[in-house]
Protein backbone atom coordinates (compact mmCIF):
# COMPACT_ATOMS: atom_id res chain seq x y z
CA UNK A 1 0.00 0.00 0.00
CA UNK A 2 1.10 3.61 -0.52
CA UNK A 3 1.37 4.41 3.17
CA UNK A 4 3.69 1.48 3.81
CA UNK A 5 5.91 2.60 0.94
CA UNK A 6 5.97 6.15 2.28
CA UNK A 7 7.08 5.05 5.73
CA UNK A 8 9.33 2.05 5.10
CA UNK A 9 12.93 2.56 6.16
CA UNK A 10 15.15 -0.42 6.88
CA UNK A 11 12.73 -2.14 9.24
CA UNK A 12 12.75 -5.84 9.97
CA UNK A 13 11.09 -8.23 7.46
CA UNK A 14 8.32 -8.72 10.03
CA UNK A 15 6.66 -5.60 8.68
CA UNK A 16 6.08 -7.24 5.33
CA UNK A 17 4.65 -10.52 6.54
CA UNK A 18 0.99 -9.75 6.90
CA UNK A 19 -1.77 -7.41 5.88
CA UNK A 20 -4.64 -6.05 7.92
CA UNK A 21 -7.33 -8.15 6.32
CA UNK A 22 -10.37 -10.16 7.18
CA UNK A 23 -9.10 -12.80 4.83
CA UNK A 24 -10.89 -16.08 4.25
CA UNK A 25 -12.09 -17.03 7.69
CA UNK A 26 -12.67 -20.71 8.56
CA UNK A 27 -16.06 -21.70 9.83
CA UNK A 28 -16.92 -19.86 13.02
CA UNK A 29 -16.14 -21.70 16.21
CA UNK A 30 -13.05 -23.50 15.02
CA UNK A 31 -11.08 -22.75 18.16
CA UNK A 32 -13.83 -22.68 20.74
CA UNK A 33 -14.47 -26.10 22.22
CA UNK A 34 -17.75 -26.37 24.08
CA UNK A 35 -17.36 -26.29 27.83
CA UNK A 36 -19.43 -26.36 30.98
CA UNK A 37 -20.27 -22.96 32.49
CA UNK A 38 -17.38 -21.74 34.61
CA UNK A 39 -17.76 -20.01 37.97
CA UNK A 40 -16.89 -16.39 38.54
CA UNK A 41 -13.72 -15.72 40.54
CA UNK A 42 -13.31 -12.77 42.86
CA UNK A 43 -10.43 -10.41 42.04
CA UNK A 44 -7.72 -9.41 44.53
CA UNK A 45 -8.96 -7.16 47.31
CA UNK A 46 -9.47 -3.58 46.19
CA UNK A 47 -9.07 -4.37 42.50
CA UNK A 48 -11.04 -5.44 39.46
CA UNK A 49 -9.56 -8.15 37.26
CA UNK A 50 -9.15 -5.51 34.55
CA UNK A 51 -6.57 -3.86 36.82
CA UNK A 52 -4.40 -6.99 36.81
CA UNK A 53 -2.16 -6.62 33.76
CA UNK A 54 1.28 -8.05 33.06
CA UNK A 55 3.61 -8.85 30.15
CA UNK A 56 3.72 -12.39 28.81
CA UNK A 57 6.78 -14.36 27.72
CA UNK A 58 5.33 -14.52 24.19
CA UNK A 59 5.48 -10.74 23.81
CA UNK A 60 1.93 -9.71 24.65
CA UNK A 61 0.18 -8.08 27.58
CA UNK A 62 -2.48 -10.01 29.46
CA UNK A 63 -5.39 -8.65 31.47
CA UNK A 64 -7.37 -10.54 34.05
CA UNK A 65 -7.27 -13.66 36.17
CA UNK A 66 -3.97 -15.48 35.43
CA UNK A 67 -5.76 -18.76 36.15
CA UNK A 68 -8.84 -18.00 34.06
CA UNK A 69 -10.03 -21.20 32.39
CA UNK A 70 -10.86 -19.34 29.17
CA UNK A 71 -7.87 -17.65 27.59
CA UNK A 72 -8.43 -15.24 24.72
CA UNK A 73 -5.44 -14.16 22.64
CA UNK A 74 -5.76 -11.36 20.11
CA UNK A 75 -3.14 -10.61 17.48
CA UNK A 76 -3.94 -7.05 16.51
CA UNK A 77 -2.30 -4.27 14.53
CA UNK A 78 -2.65 -0.75 15.90
CA UNK A 79 -3.05 0.51 12.33
CA UNK A 80 -5.71 -2.05 11.35
CA UNK A 81 -9.29 -0.81 10.80
CA UNK A 82 -10.77 -4.28 11.38
CA UNK A 83 -9.01 -4.41 14.77
CA UNK A 84 -10.33 -0.94 15.58
CA UNK A 85 -13.88 -2.04 14.75
CA UNK A 86 -13.52 -5.11 16.98
CA UNK A 87 -12.37 -2.90 19.86
CA UNK A 88 -15.03 -0.27 19.32
CA UNK A 89 -17.76 -2.90 19.32
CA UNK A 90 -16.49 -5.27 21.96
CA UNK A 91 -13.70 -4.05 24.26
CA UNK A 92 -16.02 -2.66 26.93
CA UNK A 93 -18.25 -5.75 27.00
CA UNK A 94 -15.28 -8.11 26.91
CA UNK A 95 -13.76 -6.35 29.90
CA UNK A 96 -16.87 -5.93 32.01
CA UNK A 97 -18.84 -9.10 31.24
CA UNK A 98 -16.03 -11.60 30.83
CA UNK A 99 -12.62 -10.45 32.12
CA UNK A 100 -13.93 -8.86 35.32
CA UNK A 101 -15.78 -12.06 36.24
CA UNK A 102 -12.44 -13.89 36.36
CA UNK A 103 -13.68 -16.35 33.75
CA UNK A 104 -11.69 -14.97 30.80
CA UNK A 105 -8.20 -13.55 30.46
CA UNK A 106 -7.42 -11.37 27.45
CA UNK A 107 -3.95 -11.19 25.97
CA UNK A 108 -3.23 -8.60 23.30
CA UNK A 109 -0.21 -9.12 21.04
CA UNK A 110 0.60 -6.01 19.04
CA UNK A 111 1.49 -7.34 15.58
CA UNK A 112 3.57 -4.83 13.60
CA UNK A 113 2.39 -5.23 10.03
CA UNK A 114 3.00 -1.62 8.96
CA UNK A 115 5.98 0.59 9.87
CA UNK A 116 3.86 2.94 12.00
CA UNK A 117 2.89 -0.02 14.19
CA UNK A 118 6.40 -0.03 15.68
CA UNK A 119 6.30 3.42 17.32
CA UNK A 120 2.63 2.95 18.23
CA UNK A 121 3.47 -0.30 20.02
CA UNK A 122 6.41 1.30 21.79
CA UNK A 123 4.17 4.13 22.98
CA UNK A 124 1.37 1.93 24.35
CA UNK A 125 4.08 0.02 26.21
CA UNK A 126 5.64 3.26 27.51
CA UNK A 127 3.30 3.71 30.47
CA UNK A 128 2.87 1.38 33.47
CA UNK A 129 1.33 -2.01 32.63
CA UNK A 130 -2.14 -1.09 33.90
CA UNK A 131 -2.34 1.70 31.31
CA UNK A 132 -1.62 -0.61 28.36
CA UNK A 133 -5.18 -1.69 27.52
CA UNK A 134 -6.70 1.79 28.03
CA UNK A 135 -4.08 3.24 25.66
CA UNK A 136 -4.75 0.55 23.04
CA UNK A 137 -8.47 1.29 23.34
CA UNK A 138 -7.76 5.01 22.91
CA UNK A 139 -5.87 4.30 19.67
CA UNK A 140 -8.80 2.31 18.37
CA UNK A 141 -11.50 4.68 19.67
CA UNK A 142 -9.80 7.56 17.81
CA UNK A 143 -8.75 5.45 14.84
CA UNK A 144 -10.08 7.64 12.03
CA UNK A 145 -8.53 10.83 13.39
CA UNK A 146 -5.21 9.12 14.09
CA UNK A 147 -5.17 7.58 10.63
CA UNK A 148 -5.82 11.00 9.08
CA UNK A 149 -2.93 12.44 11.10
CA UNK A 150 -0.72 9.57 9.94
CA UNK A 151 -1.61 10.12 6.29
CA UNK A 152 -0.99 13.85 6.49
CA UNK A 153 2.31 13.42 8.33
CA UNK A 154 3.50 10.77 5.90
CA UNK A 155 3.43 13.31 3.08
CA UNK A 156 6.00 15.45 4.89
CA UNK A 157 8.05 12.65 6.38
CA UNK A 158 10.44 12.29 3.47
CA UNK A 159 13.29 9.80 3.21
CA UNK A 160 13.78 8.31 6.67
CA UNK A 161 17.06 6.71 5.61
CA UNK A 162 18.59 10.19 5.95
CA UNK A 163 17.58 10.39 9.63
CA UNK A 164 20.01 9.07 12.24
CA UNK A 165 18.88 5.57 13.33
CA UNK A 166 18.47 6.57 16.98
CA UNK A 167 16.11 9.41 15.98
CA UNK A 168 13.95 7.61 13.44
CA UNK A 169 11.09 6.59 15.68
CA UNK A 170 10.97 9.91 17.53
CA UNK A 171 10.88 11.66 14.14
CA UNK A 172 8.11 9.36 12.91
CA UNK A 173 6.06 9.80 16.07
CA UNK A 174 6.40 13.58 16.02
CA UNK A 175 5.63 13.95 12.32
CA UNK A 176 2.71 11.53 12.31
CA UNK A 177 1.04 13.10 15.34
CA UNK A 178 1.63 10.19 17.71
CA UNK A 179 3.64 12.18 20.27
CA UNK A 180 0.89 14.78 20.54
CA UNK A 181 -1.80 12.08 20.73
CA UNK A 182 -0.15 10.24 23.62
CA UNK A 183 0.84 13.47 25.39
CA UNK A 184 -2.87 14.19 25.73
CA UNK A 185 -3.20 10.76 27.38
CA UNK A 186 -0.55 11.00 30.06
CA UNK A 187 2.74 10.29 28.26
CA UNK A 188 4.80 13.45 28.07
CA UNK A 189 6.90 14.27 25.02
CA UNK A 190 10.10 13.63 26.98
CA UNK A 191 8.78 10.28 28.21
CA UNK A 192 7.68 9.33 24.70
CA UNK A 193 11.04 10.25 23.20
CA UNK A 194 12.86 8.20 25.82
CA UNK A 195 10.74 5.16 24.98
CA UNK A 196 11.11 5.69 21.23
CA UNK A 197 14.92 5.73 21.39
CA UNK A 198 14.95 2.31 23.05
CA UNK A 199 16.47 0.27 20.23
CA UNK A 200 16.06 -2.99 22.13
CA UNK A 201 12.32 -2.39 22.44
CA UNK A 202 12.00 -1.61 18.73
CA UNK A 203 13.90 -4.76 17.83
CA UNK A 204 11.67 -6.83 20.10
CA UNK A 205 8.49 -5.46 18.52
CA UNK A 206 9.79 -6.42 15.08
CA UNK A 207 11.15 -9.79 16.20
CA UNK A 208 7.96 -10.78 18.01
CA UNK A 209 5.97 -9.98 14.87
CA UNK A 210 8.41 -11.96 12.76
CA UNK A 211 8.00 -14.95 15.09
CA UNK A 212 4.21 -14.75 15.03
CA UNK A 213 4.21 -14.63 11.25
CA UNK A 214 6.33 -17.78 11.15
CA UNK A 215 3.83 -19.41 13.51
CA UNK A 216 1.03 -18.88 11.00
CA UNK A 217 -0.52 -15.56 12.02
CA UNK A 218 -1.34 -14.09 8.62
CA UNK A 219 -3.89 -11.35 9.24
CA UNK A 220 -5.26 -9.09 11.93
CA UNK A 221 -7.23 -9.46 14.01
CA UNK A 222 -6.53 -13.14 14.62
CA UNK A 223 -8.35 -14.44 17.70
CA UNK A 224 -7.59 -17.61 19.64
CA UNK A 225 -9.56 -19.21 22.46
CA UNK A 226 -7.58 -21.65 24.58
CA UNK A 227 -4.97 -21.95 21.86
CA UNK A 228 -7.28 -22.63 18.93
CA UNK A 229 -7.92 -20.16 16.11
CA UNK A 230 -11.53 -19.11 16.15
CA UNK A 231 -11.77 -18.10 12.50
CA UNK A 232 -13.77 -14.99 13.45
CA UNK A 233 -12.84 -11.32 13.65
CA UNK A 234 -15.89 -9.39 14.87
CA UNK A 235 -17.35 -9.02 18.35
CA UNK A 236 -20.73 -10.35 17.17
CA UNK A 237 -18.99 -13.57 16.18
CA UNK A 238 -16.55 -13.76 19.09
CA UNK A 239 -18.92 -13.30 22.02
CA UNK A 240 -20.93 -16.48 21.33
CA UNK A 241 -17.69 -18.45 21.19
CA UNK A 242 -16.63 -17.17 24.61
CA UNK A 243 -20.03 -18.21 25.94
CA UNK A 244 -19.76 -21.60 24.24
CA UNK A 245 -16.39 -22.11 25.93
CA UNK A 246 -18.05 -21.60 29.33
CA UNK A 247 -18.24 -17.84 29.95
CA UNK A 248 -21.98 -17.87 30.58
Say which residues have a Cβ less than 8 Å from residue 30's Cβ, sequence separation at least 6.
228, 229, 230, 231
Res 163: pLDDT: 80
* Four-residue CA torsion sign, 184, 188, 180, 209: negative
Q: Which residues pair with 223 in a beta bridge?
A: 74
Q: Which residues pair with 55 in a beta bridge?
A: 61
27-40: average pLDDT: 72
Res 196: pLDDT: 97
Quickly name the fold that domain 54-244 has: Glutaredoxin (3.40.30)
Domain boundaries, the chain: 54-244
179-194: average pLDDT: 98
Three-point CA angle 226, 227, 228, nearest 5°: 100
Per mean pLDDT, which range of 2-6, 41-45, 84-88, 150-154 is the poorest?
2-6
pLDDT surpasses 50 at 17: no
d(Cα 115, Cα 108) in Å, to the nearest integer?
Answer: 19
- pLDDT tens-digit readout, 34-49: 889 999 999 999 999 9
- pLDDT tens-digit readout, 117-167: 999 999 999 999 999 999 999 999 999 999 999 999 988 887 777 788 888
Amino acid sequence: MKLRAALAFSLAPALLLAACSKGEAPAAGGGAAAGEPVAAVAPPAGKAWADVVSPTPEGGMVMGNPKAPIKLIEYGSLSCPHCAKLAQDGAAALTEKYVNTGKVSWEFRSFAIHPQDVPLTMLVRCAPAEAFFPLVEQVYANFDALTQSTMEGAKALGDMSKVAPQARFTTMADMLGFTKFFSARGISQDQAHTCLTNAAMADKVAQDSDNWGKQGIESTPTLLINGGKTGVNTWAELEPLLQKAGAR
